[in-house]
Amino acid sequence: MPEHLMPDHPLRHVLRQLTPACCPGRVNFHCHTIFSDGSLTPLELAQQALELGLEHLAITDHHSLAAHGPAMEVFKAAASEGRAVPSFWRGVEISCLLEGCLVHVLVLGFDADHPSLEPYLQGRALVGPALQAEAVLEAGRQAGGLLLLAHPARYRLPFQRLIAAADRLGFDGAEAWYDYQMQSRWTPTPLVCEAIAAELQQRGLLMSCGTDTHGLALLGR
């Protein structure tokens, strides 16, 4: 959501402080469980987050919030024992069309009880007008979330064009740091990520990062 429409979202401050060194040891705003196309159970993912000492975490399964409750129970139990737990932000990854290109959008920090996003949380991408980026943006706005274009350099259109289009629509930002080489331990890809970060900075957009974990280790993809 454009900053003038939601200037006080608490996640904005967190994202503004991020650097390429924050992921994967301090923050992770993009990862998956068995409730979409990941290999980790929510319990396993939450336990790894505790072991890593993550400060901020969002589980972003595709079109599903099913992992959020079980992971939250792990964190509640750990906190009751006096352990440090991450700030756990509600997240989801939604497919949509931007400039006629199928892309993924991370919606973070939203109200799960708001009905606007409910059609997008049924385990599958929608079709028709609801698949358009404008529709996803509006649904995410109504639910009070921030919307970020995921891994901008993974699509058939240049990231510059997609980021420009997302900016015009009012997206909050994009995933600046991402391991496009998919190494065993997450490392932001040189040059590509630097160019994306520069584009976002020039436009005054927020930057995010995450491992996009689909395997069994939260330190890599």
Q: How far apart are CA 46 and CA 145, in angstroms?
A: 22
Q: List the chain domain ranges.
A: 23-209
Those residues whose C-beta lies under 8 Å from the C-beta of residue 175, and which sit 6 or more positions away, are 29, 30, 106, 148, 149, 150, 151, 152, 196, 207, 208, 209, 210
Phi, psi dihedrals of residue 147, rounded to the nearest 5° = -120, 125
pLDDT computed for residue 1 by the predictor: 37
Q: How many CB atoms lie within 10 A of CB 55?
A: 16
Q: How far apart are CA 142 and CA 131, in angstroms?
A: 16
pLDDT tens for each residue of 69-128: 999 999 999 999 999 999 999 999 999 999 999 999 999 999 999 999 999 999 999 999
In sequence order, the β-bridge partners of residue 177 are: 209
Query: pTM for this structure?
Result: 0.95
From the list 211, 168, 185, the residue with the least C-alpha distance to 59 is: 211
pLDDT tens for each residue of 56-76: 999 999 999 999 999 999 999
Q: Is 23-209 in CATH node 3.30.465.10?
A: no
